[in-house]
Amino acid sequence: MTKAKKILKIIKDDPWLEPYESDIEERLEVYKNLVKSLKKYYGSVSKFADGHHYLGINYDKKKKGWYYREWAPMAHSLYLIGDFNLWNRTSHPMTRLDGGVWEIFLPEEEYKSTFTHGSLIKVLVISKEGSKDRIPAYIKRVVQNPDTNDFAGQVWMPEKKFKWTDQKFDVLKIGDLFIYECHVGMAQEKEGVGSYLEFAKNVLPRIKKLGYNAIQLMAVQEHPYYGSFGYHVSNFYAPSSRFGTPEELKALIDKAHKLGIAVIMDLVHSHAVKNENEGLNLFDGTEYQYFHAGGKGHHSAWDSKLFNYGKWEVLQFLLSNIKYWIEEFHFDGFRFDGVTSMLYTHHGHTAFDHYDKYFKNDVEKEAVTYLQLANDLANEIKPDVITIAEDVSGMPGLGLKVKDGGLGFDYRLAMGVPDYWIKILKHKSDEDWNIHEMYGVMVNRRYGEKTIGYAESHDQALVGDKTLAFWLMDKEMYWHMQVSDQNLIIDRGIALHKMIRFFTMVLAGEGYLNFIGNEFGHPEWVDFPREGNNWSYKYARRQWSLVDNDLLKYKFLAAFDQAMIKLTKANKILSQHDTQQLNMDETNKTIIFKKGNLIFVFNFHSANSIADYQFWVPQKGKYKIVLNSDNPEFGGHDRIDESVIFTTNQEQKISIYNTNRTVLVLKKTR
C-alpha cells in the first residue's frame, strides 16, 4: 500500500499555494541538506554558531593567553597593532591557518600589563588593495576618538563580571505583546545623546506605567553615522559605545526584565555600511569576502553592502551574532530589519501581485535559507525567543515554522497599515472614509501567521514624513494644546488619534507596536544631527515635559493609551480570533464588532451623534461601558453617562448614545 504524501501546513492553510508545492518543498530540502552538512562538520548548527568563541579575541584558559583570529582568505598578510605594542606596524605578524584564517597568540605572562582592559587595537591588513588599518570583524567594543573622530577596536575584559538578576523573568508569562519601539540616544529630553543608564532610570518606568510589556531597541549594533538611525552597521558584535558600556546595556536589559518587560533587538543582518575604515567592506582586499561582488553586492537605495548568504563563513558570522546577543546580553528576541530586501534580488522594488513573485525568478534563495537557519537557531538557544520580520512583500509562510514550509518567524509587521492611515489622512476628507475598507485593511492578513499591528512606527516619525498627530493637527499643535484652549482642529486630532490607534490595536494583529513618544502625540518629527540641520539635536530627542505638564492636552492622549492597553491586555483581546462584525453603518460611519468578551463601537463620523442608536448583540443580558474615549480624562467632551447599564430588548438589541468621533467598549455584566 502506497504511503500517502504528507502535505505541508503552509499548503493546508492556503490551497492557492498548491501550484508552488514543489518550490516550497525544494527550499525546505535545501535547508535540511545544509543543516545536515553543518552537523556533519560541526556537530550541530549551534556549535557552528560558536564562531565568536574562535574568531576575534578570546582568552585561552589552558594556554593562559589571548588568541586573536581573523578570517581574511585573500589577504597577503596581517599584523595586530595597538596600544599594547605602541602601534608598531610589523612587530606582531599573524600566522595563516587553513581556510583563510589568520592567528596570533599573546601569552598572558608577557602581555598582562600592556594588552589590558580598555586598550585600543586594530589589525593591519595587507592585500592587493595595499595596506590598511582595519577594525577586527568580531570585535566586542568599538570607540570613537572625540578629537580625530577615528574609530578603533577596544579590548574589553572588565575584572568584575556583570551579575544578572533576571533569572525569574519569563517571556512566556507576559502574554500578548505590547511593544514600545525606542532609541536610547534620542530617548532623553536634553539636546544630546542619551545613555543606557539614563534610559533605564528615566524611560523604563514610563514604559512600565503605560502598560507596554516589551521594548524594541533600535541602533544597538555599532554604527559610525548617528543619523543612520542604527541601520548602517559597521561592527556587528559591538553594542554602540556612544550610549555607554556593554555592562550598562546589560544593566538596562536586567532592569527591564525586573519590571516584567521583554527586550527585543532591532537586528540588522540585511546589509552593512560600505565604510572601509569602520566596517567589513574590502576587508581582505576583495569586494566578495563578506558580500556579493559587483552590483549584486551593492544596495543602490541604501548605499550599503549586501551579504552573500551562500558562504558558510558569512553564515557563521551572522548566526554566531544571533547566539552572541542572546547569550551575552539576554535579549529576548529580534526584529529582523530589511527582510524584504534580503528575500528578493530586486529588494522589494516591484508590485507583489502574483504568487509567482514569492517563489520564482527573483527570490534570493540563499537568504531564505539563512532566515530559516536564523529562526531555528534562535529557538534552539532560547525556546521562548521572539522573532519579528520587517517585510512588506507578504511572502507566504514567513510566520510559519520551518518544518511547516515557512521561514520560522513568530510575527510579521503589518507594514501596510500605517501606509493606509497616512494615505487616507493625506488624500481623503473625513466624510469620504470608507468604513468597509478601513475594517478590511485591519483584518487582512495571512491565516495562521501572527502579525504585529501598528498605526505608526519610526518610519512615519522621520523628517520628511509626519506622525499621525502631525497629520491630524499640524502647526496647530504649537499654539493650541493648552487644556483651556478650544480649537476644532485639535479636538478632531485628539479624537481621531485615539480612535485610529485603538482601532489598529484591537484589529490589526496579535501584537501591537508604538514608537516612543507617539502615544502622547509627540509634536515633531525625528531628525538626527547632520550637515543639513547644522548638526542639531533639537529633533533627536523626546519632550517628556509636554506629557508631564498638567496644563497641556498631551496628557489626554497618554492617559487613553494607558487605558486602552490596560483593557486590551486584561481581556486578552489580541490573541482572540473570534472577531464578529455586528454592524457596519456607512451613513453614520459606525463600525461595531465583538472580539473576545468585549463589544467595540467606533463612530468615525465628523458630526453625526445619534441618540437611541440600536444594534444587535450576540448574547442577551446587561452591558456596561468599560472604556469611553469621550471621557474628559481623555480629552473628550463628556457627552456619555458611563453609569448607564444597557439591557437587551426583545430583538436582542441594545440602545446607546452613539456620539461622533468616539469609541465605546461594552462588556456584558450578566
C-alpha cell at 436: 468597509
**Phi and psi for 553 in degrees, rounded to 5?**
-80, -5
Measure the CA–CA gap between 452 and 5, rounded to whole angstroms: 34
Which residues, in sequence order, are CB contacts of 5 under 8 Å at separation 6+? none
Q: Which helix (H) or strand (E) holds 127?
A: strand 120-127
Q: Is the dihedral of CA 271, 275, 281, 286 positive or negative?
A: positive
Q: Are 141 and 246 in contact (CB under 8 A)?
A: yes
- Nearest CA to 31 out of 525, 435, 377, 496 is that of 377
What does the angle CA 109 – CA 115 – CA 117 come to, to the nearest 5 degrees? 120
Map 284-310 to HEC letters: CCCCCCCECCHHHHEECCCCEECECCC
All 3 cell numbers of residue 242?
A: 556612544
Instruction: State the DSSP H helix or E strand holding residue 27, giving kind and residue range, or none if neither.
Output: helix 21-42
Strands (E), 35-129: 56-60, 65-71, 77-82, 95-96, 101-107, 120-127
Catalytic one among 70, 248, 390, 476? 390
**How far apart, in Å, are the Cα atoms of 578 and each of 570, 588, 668?**
17, 25, 16
Catalytic residue (one of 337, 364, 376, 391)? 337
Give, for 570, the enclosing helix (H) or strand (E). Answer: helix 554-570
To 10 degrees, the CA torsion angle through 162, 167, 172, 175?
Answer: -80
**DSSP-assigned beta bridge partners for residue 266:** 335
Closest to 206 in 3D by CA, of 618, 548, 649: 548
Question: Is 337 annotated in the active site?
Answer: yes
Dihedral sign from CA coordinates of 396, 398, 399, 401: positive
How far apart CA 119 and CA 48 sit, in angstroms, is 30
What pairs with residue 101 in β-bridges?
Answer: 71
Alpha helices in 106-213 (DSSP H): 108-111, 196-198, 204-210
State the CB neighbour count (10 A cutoff) for residue 99.
9
Q: Residue 164: which residues within 8 A CB-CB, separation 6 or more?
A: 250, 254, 330
Cα–Cα distance list, 396 to 16, 391, 406 (Å):
11, 11, 8
How many H helices and E strands in the chain?
A: 18, 29
Question: Which of 456, 442, 572 has the alpha carbon at shortest distance from 513?
Answer: 456
Residue 586 annotated to the active site: no
CB contact at 8 A, 440 and 409 = no
The number of residues making up the chain comes to: 670
Catalytic residues: 337, 390
